[in-house]
Structure 1
Amino acid sequence: MNISTFGLGYVGGVTAACLAKGSHNVIGVDVKGEKVEMINQGKAPFYEKDLDNLISQAVEENRLKATKDVKEAVENSEISLICVGTPSNPDGSLNLDYVKKVCEDIGTALKYKNEFHVVVIRSTILPGSTENVLIPILEKASEKKSSGDFGVCVNPEFMREGQAIYDFFNPERIVIGETDKRSGDHVAQIYNDIHATVIRTDIKTAEMVKYVDNTFHAIKVTFANEIGSVCKRLGIDAHEIMNIFCMDKKLNLSPYYFKPGFAFGGSCLTKDLSALLSKAGELKLSCPLLEAIIPSNQEHIDKVVELIISQNKRRIGVFGLSFKSGTSDTRESPVILAINRLYEKGYAKLFEKGYEISVFDPNLDKSDMENLPSNIVPLLSPSLEEVVEKSEVLVIANNDKDFKRIPSLMREGQVLIDLVKVIEADEVKDGEYIGVCW
């Protein structure tokens, strides 16, 4: 394919060189003449392991060249990859000036091009930026319409400095956010020679993925440092601790716990985190990340309570009282906390006849009743069907397989609030479906 890359900095330079190593012909575009000259001389404009050799070979074989001429690059390519920087403004907000300028320039060039062309955003931009800001700029400058006259996709990069070339050719996944299938097909062809899972998704999802990645990387570093500080004060080797921690691929380093849903609970997590924070306090250590976990969890419970209240309905059915499915353990159950918060907020007073809550949990038996708060026991119902029948709002609080039957029992006017994504929205034919985080 004939490809143009806009921006010959770290992302654009590596991307251009790697694409030219394969079966593609690449034109790199940059406003800085010195970068253009260096590329055309077969030299890397910055240091990255093996990049000089890659560029030198590609230029020698006439598969890579650079220019400052946007019109030339667009005319002689099928796809344009935008790889310019998106720095922070002084207030921390995202600065899209460079991306907007490139889109305006590409749009102007597209005005005079008859062939279908795909514009690909590879720069890191916030969700909504492409659809709300960049596509309108492209359409205005080109006097054409996207998903018809030209295509737009988002293709985030996941390269590490120092390992960028390896990462390009050996990605964990390739993400393509597309406005239409035709455009996505064009972008997917770029990676025909690379063996990796290609994920075709919508534009905003592709924009968001990079932020999730980088935010989690920042959390991991901060988490390790705060744990390290506590370990040092206690005379424990923090590196040995984290090596042991990372050996657990079942829970610690796995997709487990990475599903948005309800708050955490149970007899261990809150208790052990509280104990660790108490010890850190004794040691006069500040651990801002760890200290924020329990308040964030409590705030999530409050959000669920507010979501229930916002339905303005009196009869509430709760499915699942234990803190997770497959157990009857209700210690520190966030569901019980949510029910108690409803009463604390005086929600019962909103209705003349009070507030009715019914609870069904298939894992609870008589021996579990003595461990429940006294105000919860009277709420328990013997069957799922009974709770569905007498409730206006249905709240699924854990992913017990029995709860999959609920949509088939619903009627018009009922609202299903799913806290664990045990139900898909299209399964609810009668009534309304609301996911707590989706």
Structure 2
Amino acid sequence: ALKDFRKPPLTLVGHNHAADAGGTIALYQSIDAPLVTTSIRVAEMMKYTSNAWHALKVCFANEIGNLCKRLDVDSHEVMDIFCRDEKLNLSAYYLKPGFAFGGSCLPKDVRALQYRAKEVDVELPVISQILTSNRLQIQHAFDEVMETGRKKIGLLGFSFKAGTDDLRESPCAILAEALLGKGLSLQIYDKKVSLARLVGADKEYIDRQIPHLSSLLCDSIDQVVQQAEVIVIGNRSAEFAEA
């Protein structure tokens, strides 16, 4: 406990008025760690978030361990290799609140784990709820748009992430389909998405789910903004942040 106190990753002080925090901040000046000040509400939520995250990591690792054991795979070697990836696996990259995930890899591999676990009778309560949570994030976006009561919706970004034209399981495409199903008018801009370049699984998906996509695509962000009453930003393309 003393080691953690003297060498923390950071010291967080919550306050509602800067003048009130002076005494508390002074107590921690000798601690060799970044000192962060914020509101009391953010500080409280930060504490809950940190411990929930640590608990989630333990449960996730244990579920992987249980499945590995049943499959006669060395779970410690798996997780040792997993932890070497500090670019994605152990980083802030995916820890930004926002929209749902999609694409050809994440949903597919989560389903593969679930399927294999079911085959060998291993319960994965955390992993089995990942796709449910992801669907709820799309539903949340849909509900927020519907609650505005507006009929003309602009969607900036249509592929599952910035910088790609991959539409497979794109949350933006799923959201667009749901909004169109409610009779809303939709204008879409994504410079990476071109109907002429759609082939294979992408083309099959769009032909099936949004066959009239060509009439919804716009040539510029300005065109969408001028026609829409509500704007939905579907991915983190830099051009949307600059608009």
Which TM-score applies when normalising by structure 1? Answer: 0.52
8 Å CA contact retained: 2:155, 2:231: yes
Residue number in structure 1 paired with 2:98? 261
Structure with the larger strand share? 1
Structure 1 residue 402 displacement after superposition: 1.3
Structure 1 residue 366 displacement after superposition: 4.4
For 1:334 and 1:387, locate their aligned partners in 2 and report how far apart those are by CA, in whole Å: 19
Residue number in structure 2 paired with 1:249? 86
Aligned residue identity for 1:242:
M
Out of 119, 124, 143, which is 1:282 matched to? Answer: 119
Q: What SS does the aligned partner of 1:288 have?
A: coil
Structure with the larger helix share? 2
Aligned residue identity for 1:391:
A
Higher deviation after alignment, 282-291 or 357-366: 357-366
Q: Are 2:187 and 1:358 aligned?
A: yes
For 1:366 and 1:340, locate their aligned partners in 2 and report how far apart those are by CA, in whole Å: 17
Aligned residue identity for 1:256:
Y
Aligned residue identity for 2:57:
K
Out of 288, 304, 325, which is 2:162 matched to? Answer: 325
Residue number in structure 2 paired with 1:204? 41
Q: Give the percent of matched residue pairs that are identical in Structure 1 and Structure 2.
A: 40
Q: Are 2:134 and 1:297 aligned?
A: yes
8 Å CA contact retained: 2:156, 2:233: yes
Structure 1 residue 342 displacement after superposition: 2.4
Structure 1 residue 405 displacement after superposition: 3.9
Q: What SS does the aligned partner of 2:126 have?
A: helix
Q: Between Structure 1 and Structure 2, whose CA radius of gyration is higher?
A: 1
Q: What SS does the aligned partner of 1:316 have?
A: strand
For 1:276 and 1:404, locate their aligned partners in 2 and report how far apart those are by CA, in whole Å: 35
Q: What SS does the aligned partner of 2:41 have?
A: helix
Out of 236, 239, 242, which is 1:402 matched to? Answer: 239
8 Å CA contact retained: 1:315, 1:390: yes
Structure 1 residue 341 displacement after superposition: 2.1
8 Å CA contact retained: 1:302, 1:341: no
> After superposition, what is the alpha-carbon deviation per residue over 1:311-343, rounded to whole angstroms, capped at 9, x for unaligned?
111111100001111111111100001112224
For 2:30 and 2:137, locate their aligned partners in 1 and report how far apart those are by CA, in whole Å: 44
8 Å CA contact retained: 1:369, 1:377: no
Change in Cα spacing, 1:405 to 1:216, as seen in structure 2 (3 Å) is: closer
For 1:219 and 1:367, locate their aligned partners in 2 and report how far apart those are by CA, in whole Å: 43
Structure 1 residue 300 displacement after superposition: 0.9
Segments of structure 1 that go 5 or more residues without pairing to the other structure are 1-163, 349-354, 407-438
Which TM-score applies when normalising by structure 2? Answer: 0.93
> After superposition, what is the alpha-carbon deviation per residue over 1:9-61, rounded to whole angstroms, capped at 9, x for unaligned?
xxxxxxxxxxxxxxxxxxxxxxxxxxxxxxxxxxxxxxxxxxxxxxxxxxxxx
Structure 1 residue 369 displacement after superposition: 3.5
For 2:173 and 2:214, locate their aligned partners in 1 and report how far apart those are by CA, in whole Å: 11
> After superposition, what is the alpha-carbon deviation per residue over 1:142-198, rounded to whole angstroms, capped at 9, x for unaligned?
xxxxxxxxxxxxxxxxxxxxxx10000001000000121111122111011111111
Report the count of equivalent residues: 235
- Please give the residue correspondences for 1:135-284 in structure 2 after superposition, counting only pairs within 5 Å: 164-284=1-121
Higher deviation after alignment, 166-175 or 381-390: 381-390
Segments of structure 2 that go 5 or more residues without pairing to the other structure are none
For 1:179 and 1:384, locate their aligned partners in 2 and report how far apart those are by CA, in whole Å: 40
For 1:298 and 1:212, locate their aligned partners in 2 and report how far apart those are by CA, in whole Å: 22
